Structure 1
Amino acid sequence: MTFELFVALRNLLSRRKHAFISFISFISVAGVALGVATLIVVFGIMNGLSDDLKKRILGVNAHVLVLSMSQTVNDYEDVVNRLNGVEGVTAAVPFIYSEVMVSGLAGVKGAVLRGVEPESLAEVLALEEAAAGGAAARTREAFDGLKGNGLPGVMIGWELAKTLQAEPGDRLYLMGQWSGGTGLDTGSFAPRVRIFELAGTFRTGLYDYDSSVAYIGLEQAARLLGYPPDRVTGIEVRVDDVYNADVIAQRVSRELGPPYYTRNWMELNTDLFATLKLEKAGMMLVLIVIILLAAFSIVTTLVLLVMEKGRDIAVLMALGARRNSIGRIFVYQGALIGVIGTVIGFAVGVSLALLLKRYQFVQLPEGVYTSDTIPVLLDWLDLTIVGLAPLVFCFLATLYPARKASALDPSERLRGR
């Protein structure tokens, strides 16, 4: 142990005559620990919410959508085969998209209709994973029921089912704009109503989806909307790396060429995730202020200590201690406060985050948020930043007091001035 570190520890731990300074030191350590612990817990919750939201969005949306400027994708089987040969694409399935009116016993409501192939939908979407509570099993059964027994099946969000007061097995009437079999001739659009049987409901926790989306079989959607057998609205694509979806989408565009174009899930949800990042940045700024206040209290502690220990500093200089050694004593003391506070805060924050993640003792109102419990995700990059930031702030807080201490005139202090 160096001479400077030994003296710094003595000043920090053995200061019976300076109770007020000791109290300020304790407040400094507590402030750093509180700021670090709070940052870890808040970052864990923000990351958990963002990750949970991404999973739910990707559960009901493909990673990449392939669309056509001519409104429909012609000869879609050939397009699907070409997509399966693109590097990074793991699955591709066709879909039909339209807006329809859904009528039940309790009234009528507009909905977004998605015609899908039930047997291949799981290759692209993860609706069962996105379903909340016990809805996963019901979702699987509903997919099996899309083919229907007698009447064709339809699956709708649980909020939409609640609005229509519909139960599995009830009849629902879907009205779409039939295009006379062309799928393109806008002059021949006419309303058409077909009867479906409610095969089941799904619940993602995302209100916009749960209250407005309905799934039916691809063939039934083509009949309802008048699409020819070889035409669909677009192709849903799943990729091997969701965070590389934009790059893979560019490969798809180059492979297919005009009139096809792509949209990836990040483009479709840019505003949402930008808002989450802004909230996280704002929360980080507020909590860093707590650590800065603790750093200012370190400045106060060390300045008071320099004033109280002026004669002792002069004695050390008279015995041969150099000025830079005196400065290092106070740098070490402030750094020790930062290290102790950071270690305590780190231990408390990580422990609270892990307990919250494991036991979920905080329950959220059902149906209000995307999850009924608080999701927690600890990211090592965030933990590293949270661990290093207080140490940097505390080190910077020691520079002024250390400089003042090393600049003292020992002769004046020994004479009692």
Structure 2
Amino acid sequence: MFLSSFEKMVAKRYLMPGKGEGFIFLVAGISLTAVMLGVAALIIVMSVMNGFRAELFDRIVGLNGHAIIQGYDGRLDDWENILKETKATPGVVKASPLIEQPLLGSFNGRVEGLLVRGMDRPNMLELKDKIVAGRIETVMQNENMIVIGSQLAQNLGLQLGQNLTIINPAGRATPFGTVPREISYQVGAIVEIGIFQFDKAFVAMPIADAQTLLLLGDKVGMIEVTSNDPQNINAIMEPLQKKVEGKALIVDWQTLNASLFETLAVERVAMFVVLSIIIIVAVFNILSSLIMLVRAKTRDIAILRTMGASRKSLLRIFMTVGTTVGALGTIAGLILGFIFLIFRQSIVNAIQFITGQNLWDPSIRFLNELPSRTDPVEVIVICSMALLFSFLATLYPAIKAANTDPVQVLRYE
């Protein structure tokens, strides 16, 4: 929408408060603030929701792979051939044997539930960047040494070099019944996965030690698969379905974590709809401020019409005034939203300090810190929506101003 110099001058004059127009300017300021808060809130919430999904995906899927080939009875027979066929499948980047079993752990009279994982050397080395104490190499070079999660170490009071007793209820059968199998392991490293539910139960050991603990012989429990396209994992794993039929079950990451990611998707849509209402309210404020401006400027509009201003000129002037308020609010919202996202964790910590409340309990929210990942497409959609609504709000007042009859207004002047 291109304006002439005359239209720009009038629009600029109407954007600034005139004598006796303080209330109209206040309403316009409230409208701008409301648009700013609406845009900022949408950007912040959508970025945080995207961050949640991305962080959970990276950490959960990064730990469990994109799919698993799991034996029906917890034991995968002929796993070497299945592993070879899996690695040869197009789209599969990595496949490795894995043992995973929930067990119990005991230390100094305290008992905690454990998630024991027997991992091969490459998978063990991937934990290296998550180490907070000790060394992965130490665990791999020595027998009966394990890696544990940081929260588990804290709950049990375990430190490097101390021993954790792992209890396997499915022990050896004796004439007096099944005797649980208890083996003591030395803590060689402590890791922080970043997901509370894992950190409070995670125990990793070389796959040979896990086979001994669980009496698996030379068998494994599953094969972990990583692909080059996690969103298309079903199609990638389809050729393996017939090959492992009757031996194992293929489960992808979407099925394993279906409830969690579906909940996040529903919450994401719900939050977008709810927070969009803030922008709609702001748009109604723009509408009301423009209507009051038109009423206050009725005489000026009539004079402009008698001086030769066209209806199209008046239409453009008032549309520019309203759209400018919306645009300034959108820009301010962008700046506010990005500032909040940059300092998000500091802001959360400051609020926690002031209120004395723990706003970010990782046991409830899975992750240890407030995540964020901004999607440029979503930002463009949010800004476009705010500008579009602001533009639509200007139509009625602008048409009303353009249709002003100067004869009727100036009859008694």
TM-score computed with the length of structure 2 as normaliser: 0.84
Could you say what secondary structure the match of 1:26 adopts? helix
Q: How far, CA to CA, are the matches of 1:143 and 1:203 in structure 2?
A: 17
Q: 1:175 aligns with which of 167, 172, 175?
A: 167
1:350–1:207 CA distance, 2 compared to 1 (3 A): closer
Following superposition, the deviation at residue 121 of structure 1 comes to: 1.1
Q: CA deviation at 1:214?
A: 2.0
- The corresponding residue for 1:148 is 142
After TM superposition, the structure 1 = structure 2 runs for residues 364-383 of structure 1, keeping only pairs within 5 Å, are: 368-369=361-362, 373-383=369-379
Cα distance change on mapping 1:105 and 1:137 into 2, 3 Å: closer
Distance 1:210 1:244 in 2: 29
Where do 1:170-209 residues align within 5 Å?
A: 170-178=162-170, 191-209=180-198
State whether residues 99 and 119 of structure 2, in contact with CA within 8 Å, keep that contact through their aligned partners in structure 1. yes
Percent identity, aligned pairs only, is 30
Query: In the alignment, what sits opposite 2:278?
Result: 290
Counterpart check, 1:162 vs 2:154: yes
Kept after mapping to 2: 8 A contact 1:32/1:290: yes
Which consecutive unaligned segments of at least 5 residues does structure 1 have? 182-187
Instruction: Give the count of matched residue pairs.
Output: 397
Q: CA RMSD of the aligned region, Å? A: 3.0
Task: Using the TM superposition, give the Cα deviation of residue 298 of structure 1 relative to its aligned residue in structure 2, in angstroms.
Answer: 0.9
Deviations 1:146-169, CA, capped at 9 Å, x for gaps: 4525xx222222333333333332
**Alpha-carbon deviation of 1:296?**
1.1
Q: Could you list the runs of 5+ residues in structure 2 that have no partner in the other structure? A: 353-357
Candidates 56, 68, 71, aligned match of 1:68: 71
Deviations 1:20-55 (A, max 9, x none): 222222222222223223333333333333333333
* 8 Å contact from structure 1 (residues 106, 163) kept in 2: no
Q: How far apart are residue 218 of structure 1 and its match?
A: 1.6
Q: What secondary structure, in the 3-state scheme, does the structure 1 residue paired with 2:370 have? A: coil
The amino acid of 1:10's aligned partner reads: R
Letter in 2 for 1:344: A
SS at match of 1:226: coil
Q: Distance in 1 between matches of 2:84 and 2:275?
A: 52
2:136/2:188 contact within 8 Å kept: yes
Is the Cα contact below 8 Å between 1:142 and 1:155 reproduced in 2? Answer: yes
Distance 2:220 2:393 in 1: 65
> Alignment partner for residue 324 of structure 2, among 326, 336, 339?
336
Please list the CA deviations of residues 114-134 of structure 1 after superposition, one character each: whole Å capped at 9, or x if unmatched. Answer: 2222x12158xx5445x3xxx
Distance in 2 (CA, whole Å) between partners of 1:165 and 1:326 is 75
Structure 1 residue ranges, 4+ long, deviating more than 6 angstroms after superposition: 364-367
Q: Hey, what does 1:316 align to over in structure 2?
A: 304
| Among candidates 116, 119, 122, match of residue 119 of structure 2 | 116
Who is 1:77 aligned against?
Answer: 80
Change in 2 beyond 3 A, CA 1:286/1:333: same
Change in Cα spacing, 1:101 to 1:249, as seen in structure 2 (3 Å) is same
SS of the residue corresponding to residue 79 of structure 1 reads: helix
CA distance in 2, matches of 1:367, 1:32: 28
- Please say which of residues 295-304 and 244-253 is displaced more in the overlay: 244-253
Distance 1:44 1:28, change over 3 A: same
Q: Is the 8 A contact 2:171 2:181 kept in 1?
A: no
Q: Output one character per residue of 1:206-239: Cα deviation in whole Å (capped at 9) or x when no partner.
A: 232222232222222222222232x211101122
**Displacement, 1:377?**
2.3
CA displacement 1:160-213 (0-9 Å, x = unmatched):
3333333332233323255779xxxxxx97633333222232222323222223
Question: Does residue 214 of the first structure (1) align with residue 203 of the second (2)?
Answer: yes
After TM superposition, give the deviation of residue 399 of structure 1 in Å.
1.9
Looking at structure 2, the residues matched to 331 and 95 of structure 1 have their Cα atoms a distance apart, in angstroms, of 65
Contact 1:366 1:372 in 2 (8 A): no
> Partner residue of 1:232?
220
Tell me the distance in 1 between the aligned counterparts of 2:50 and 2:392: 29
SS at match of 1:167: coil
Structure 1 residues 224 and 355: CA distance shift in structure 2, 3 A: closer
Cα distance in 2 for residues equivalent to 1:347 and 1:207: 33
Normalising by the residue count of structure 1, what TM-score does the alignment of the two structures yield?
A: 0.83
